[in-house]
Amino acid sequence: QVQFVESGGGLVQPGGSLRLSCAASGIIFSAYVMGWYRQAPGKQRERVAIIYSGGSTSYADSVKGRFTISRDNAENTVYLQMNSLKPEDTAVYYCNTNVPRNNAWGQGAQVTVVS
C-alpha cells in the first residue's frame, strides 16, 4: 500500500521559512519522480515542485527562487525548503508521485503565513 506522510508545517510570518518533509512507503521511491502539491482554501490543488530520480528539479513560477525541493533516496523522503514565504503560500501541502496516485494522498501539512 502506497503511503505518503507529510510533516513540518506551521504558522509563520511573511518572509519566514519552513521545511516540509514527506516520508514515502509502498513504492520503489528512487524510481519515481516526486512532487510537492498544495491546495489553498477554495482553490484547486496545484503542483509546486518536482524532483527527478537523479535530482533535477522544476518549479512553478509562483515559487521559483524561493522554494527548493530535494530528496533522500536512502530514506525514502522528499523535502521542500520554503523561504521568503508570502501570505499567498498559505495552503495544505502534499507530496505524491509526479503522476499522482489518487488513492495515496496523505493528510498534508498546513502552512499558514500571516502577519
d(CA 8, CA 58): 22
- Cα 69 off chain centre by: 8
Find cell 500500500 and name the residue.
1
Distance CA 23, CA 79 (A): 9
**Cα gap 113→101, rounded to integer Å:** 28
pLDDT tens digits, one per residue of 51-104:
999 999 999 999 999 999 999 999 999 999 999 999 999 999 999 999 999 999
pLDDT of residue 46: 97
pLDDT, one tens digit per residue, over 46-66 is: 999 999 999 999 999 999 999
Place of cell 505524491: 96
Q: Exposure string (b/e) for 41-65, b if CB count within 10 Å is 16 or more?
A: eeeeeebbbbbeeeeeeebeeebee
Give me the mean pLDDT over the 29-54 stretch: 96
